[in-house]
Structure 1
């Protein structure tokens, strides 16, 4: 759907954390997951920027591993701070979604 990029800016961290919460993963896999969801405008560079920001915030565990296809890959998993952030993200999301529904019905 066109025009989603601007709306996604505030939500992308939570979306990425939610995917990581499902199990250890790496950047390209996250990008493919998002594109498979229909978010075709999300490119690897955007995902890696989000991952770096989440890593700097101390929300992820990161492990570098050799890859059979080239350079080492960073594998990401959620730590306790990341899980807490994700819980708070969904609480904020539910609040906002409720307000948007109220506005729409007004």
Structure 2
């Protein structure tokens, strides 16, 4: 009977170890979430506008300044600095579109 009891001890130990792994993962995930919540990041994502499957416009706030950036899988491009008082993302987008239209017309006139 000692062989049977040692097998049961091994099986029971294996079950405890297998059950312990997901519990540890759950605790780690909770701790990371709490740490992110408590940690004060200097960068805040205000709004995101998807342009395509992997392209986005992002309005971020860094040290009290709002910045419009374009994000693709390969690059991040600074598009425009925006004063805080212009909090409407649609107004910012309209201005960015107008600026790009003016720039494209200027390029067309040069050619």
For normalisation by structure 2, the TM-score amounts to 0.28
Larger relative contact order (Cα-Cα within 8 Å, sequence gap ≥ 6): 1
More helix per residue: 1
More strand per residue: 2
For normalisation by structure 1, the TM-score amounts to 0.29
